[in-house]
Amino acid sequence: MNVESLVQNITPELFQRLQYGASTGKWPDGTPLSEAQKEQTVQLVMLYQAKVAKSNEQFTINENGEMVQKSKRELQQEFAQDNEIARFSENDL
């Protein structure tokens, strides 16, 4: 299996487990990752973010393996779009 097909077959649930392992150094069940597992897990997370995920995080990795940083303005626009709340006046009650 090549890297492209491997990354395309990662489910969102598996990605969450990989992300947890990469950030904590252990699997969700508490089992510690070996050094080789940590390295491979971080690589898989970065590949998935670059090839599959539509991430709204400030720092991501693009398809060329380069770090992408969103500007403050881009983050504010995304935050405003994602967190719109219903607004009403007392007259509406």
- Under the banding of pLDDT at 50, 70 and 90, the label for residue 22 is confident
Q: Quick one: average pLDDT of 60-75?
A: 65
Domain assignment present for residue 10? The answer is yes
Higher pLDDT, 47 or 35: 35
CA gap 45, 12 in Å, rounded? 11
Q: How many domains does the chain have?
A: 1
65, part of any domain: yes
Q: What was the pLDDT predicted at 46?
A: 82
Element (H, E) at 67: strand 67-69
Asked whether residue 74 is assigned to any structural domain, the reply reads yes
pTM: 0.57
Is residue 90 one of the residues assigned to a domain?
A: no
Task: Return the minimum-mean-pLDDT range out of 39-43, 55-59, 63-67.
Answer: 55-59
Q: Which of 8-17, 28-37, 49-58, 75-84 has the lowest mean pLDDT?
A: 75-84
Q: Is the predicted pLDDT of residue 56 greater than 60, yes or no?
A: no
More confident residue, 8 or 93: 8
Tally of CA atoms within 13 A in the half-sphere of 39 that contains its CB = 3
The whole domain housing 62 covers 3-83
